[in-house]
Amino acid sequence: MHVESEMPEGATGQDRAAVTRPRPGHADLAGLVKYGHDDIRDILERASARETAARVAVGAIARQLLHAVGADIASHVVSIGSAAVAHPLAVTFEQAEAIPADSALHCSDAGVERLMIAEIDRARDAGDTMGGSFEVIVHRLPPGLGSHVQWDRKLDGRLAQALMSIPAIKAVGIGLGPGVAAVPDRACTDEILLGAASGAALGVRRPTNNAGGLEGGITNGEDLRVTGYMKPISTLMKPLRSVDLTTMTESPAAIERSDVCAVPAAAVVGEAMVAIVLADAVMEKFGGDSIEELVANWQTFRARTAARFRQPASAPTA
């Protein structure tokens, strides 16, 4: 079996062997048809998740802007294959933030993480790969970001597009995500009670956060919680069937450099994409030509919102 590899040092484009056997699950065949290329290499390199390195760099700057208005971001791996954290929404921002940097899979539960590692080991031994899910949590995010008035301004849609643009992410959930389809309204809607929400300058709070910090496309002062669902990487060491487009005969798919599981790495990209979208929303809401002006606008908004929700002296408490 011929195996394509990276170009050796000093080689030119003319020296490399053309890739002609598209890998199922990748952009190989669709991209070749769209752009009329003969060499799939031109497709697979541009469709590689390596392009997300630039997004992570931009996301680092976006995080600093969010920090200026009090917001912080963390993430944790929720599932790998069938091994999963039982109640992801019960994982607090503080718990996700406290996961050690040298954690093998950046999971909040050490016992579940061991099960995840076993899933990955089994896939590696079988020449297969594993997918999973991760959650990004944004703490102390200002309320009022996004809008309900136009479809392209809704923050939930903007976040979903941003995360779905990460290679191999096939679904996005906010708060309970797909779980809302299986329960009655009382089990997934967050009541509104008197009392300040953490960092939100509101006079009301939620005992639950099933909405994931977004209602009607607008942040509501609770932690923003967004989950990305990643398919298994489609490059296999024991490749699936494909067709050699040079000879038009059936042949095993090409083999490229690959990981067995990239969910923890995808979580880092997910944090960056969430940060980029939220930084844009913060600029829309608070504006300004400098950080100092933006922060001043945010502080004015906080003071005005706090005054709006201030309870009368005679108001009963829950």
Q: What is the pLDDT of residues 196-207, one digit of tens each?
A: 665 556 778 899
- pLDDT of 13 reads 46
- pLDDT of 238 reads 75
Q: Does the pLDDT value for residue 318 go beyond 70?
A: no
Q: What is the pLDDT of residues 175-195, one digit of tens each?
A: 999 999 999 999 999 999 987
Q: Phi and psi (nearest 5°) for 286?
A: -110, -20
Q: What is the pLDDT of residues 13-31, one digit of tens each?
A: 455 688 988 888 889 999 9
H-type alpha helices, the chain:
28-35, 41-46, 52-68, 93-97, 110-125, 155-164, 263-286, 291-308
Share of the chain above pLDDT 90, in %: 69
Q: pLDDT tier at 316 (50, 70, 90 boundaries)? A: low
Whole-angstrom Cα distance, residue 43 to residue 27?
7
Whole-angstrom Cα distance, residue 271 to residue 292?
25
Is residue 72 helix, strand or coil? strand
**Residue 260, CB half-sphere, CA atoms under 13 Å: how many?**
16
Residue 210 contacts residue 190 (beta carbons within 8 Å): yes
Q: Mean pLDDT throughout 210-223?
A: 96
C-alpha triplet 169, 170, 176: angle, nearest 5°: 95
Long-range contacts of 188-192 (CB under 8 A, 24+ apart): 190/222
C-alpha triplet 41, 170, 243: angle, nearest 5°: 35
Higher confidence at residue 101 or residue 156? 156
For residues 86-115, b (16+ Cβ closer than 10 Å) or e, as one string?
A: eebbebebeebeebeeeeebbbbbeebbeb
The two beta strands, 224-230 and 132-139, are antiparallel
Q: Phi and psi (nearest 5°) for 215?
A: -135, 125
